[in-house]
Amino acid sequence: MIVVGGEALIDLVPVERPPGALLPRPGGGPYNTALALGRLGAVVAFCSRVSADGFGESLLAGLRAAGVDLSLVQRGPEPTTLAVPSLAPDGSASYGFYVEGTADRLFTLPPALPDSVRALALGTCSLVLEPGASAYEALLRRESRRGLLTLLDPNIRPALIGDPAAYRARFLERLLPYTTVLKLSVEDAAWLGGGVSDWLAAGPSAVVLTRGAAGLTVWTREGAEHSVPGRRVAVADTIGAGDTVNAALLHRLSGAPDRPVDWPDVLAYAAHAAALTCTRAGAEPPYAAELTR
């Protein structure tokens, strides 16, 4: 089993008609990653705190439909976090957030994860918003120490980070030493500063960089470097594309932990999955059957 921890929220996605209208869509980087894993056929559980309001019910319904295990989900009466993406002409998105007093930031550390869990993924708002951020950090440390493969996707949202220097220090000193695979976008990398050698020296076995339409690159602690190009598609928007990369990486890397990683194959699989997500409005990751066509 793969466990994905972090926020589930509602994206209020702009639509053309009527002018100025916003369409509620399920979202949040960890939520999208869990949904994508379920659709890819992985055994996956979501670990979060989700509101008991109508939005929270719809979020869980989406995960349930994808076959995601919800036994690690905490519930609360607080409202659901809202995100408002603004789309650029190329389909890329920036975000504003409504997060005060919302359910997901009140996540508390759960008991030890089941013995069947092989991998843990964390990222995005859940690494920033206290007190939940400290609980997720504790979860990462505890489960990493018992040998789980861990994937970290900082998925930087500058509007949520009140103290950038403190966040960068936490990332480098308190999160990376417990991370197996670090996945970053070029925007994340530029905001965080430093470079691949710095990040690898801090702990991860591999750093995967997503470069939009240009594809993906991985650097490993052993000194290997591999790149694959992106797939040419008609882009509706890029919402959820990076989260789909997370899911594809986890699905392939956790499947045969004792074998050497075929990074070109893993990256090509992730690039294909992300490209399909980009052809659809909102975070709509593909199903396993779509990747075999």
pLDDT tens readout for residues 117-140: 999 999 999 999 999 999 999 999
Cα separation values, 143 from 150, 160, 202, Å = 8, 26, 18
Please report the pLDDT score of residue 292 as a whole number. 82
Please report the pLDDT score of residue 256 as a whole number. 67
Question: pTM to 2 decimals?
Answer: 0.93
Longest dimension (CA), the chain: 54
Please report the pLDDT score of residue 149 as a whole number. 97
Residues of the chain with pLDDT under 50: none
256 CB contacts (<8 Å, ≥6 apart)?
A: none
Please report the pLDDT score of residue 259 as a whole number. 79
Q: What is the per-residue pLDDT across 204-226, written as a single tens digit (0 to 9) for each?
A: 999 999 998 899 999 999 999 99
Task: Report the C-alpha gap between 103 and 107 in whole angstroms.
Answer: 7
Backbone angles phi, psi at 248, to 5 degrees: -65, -40
Q: What is the per-residue pLDDT across 60-98, written as a single tens digit (0 to 9) for each?
A: 999 999 999 999 999 999 999 998 877 676 656 677 889
